[in-house]
Amino acid sequence: MDIDVSALGILATLALGLLVAVTGGVAYLTAIEWRDRRRRERDSRGQK
């Protein structure tokens, strides 16, 4: 049951790519939520 080194490299690269994609997605959603929260706060202050 010896796994080929190239298969491990491919799996490691795939895992790293998925980690980067998920981290980037979370950062994007966080930035969008922060921007929208600022916009809502600004709009609510303008209506008062």
Residue 24's alpha-carbon distances to 4, 14, 38, in angstroms, are 30, 15, 21
Q: Which pLDDT value is given to residue 45?
A: 87
pLDDT per residue over 16-47, tens digit each?
999 999 999 999 999 999 999 999 999 998 87
For residues 33 and 1, the model is more confident at 33
pLDDT at residue 11 is higher than 70: yes
For residues 7 and 1, the model is more confident at 7
Token duo for residue 44: 């609510």
Q: Which pLDDT value is given to residue 4?
A: 82
Q: Which pLDDT value is given to residue 1?
A: 52
The tally of domains found in the chain comes to 1
Using CA atoms, how far apart are residues 8 and 27, in angstroms rounded to an integer? Answer: 28
Domain hosting residue 9, numbered range: 1-48
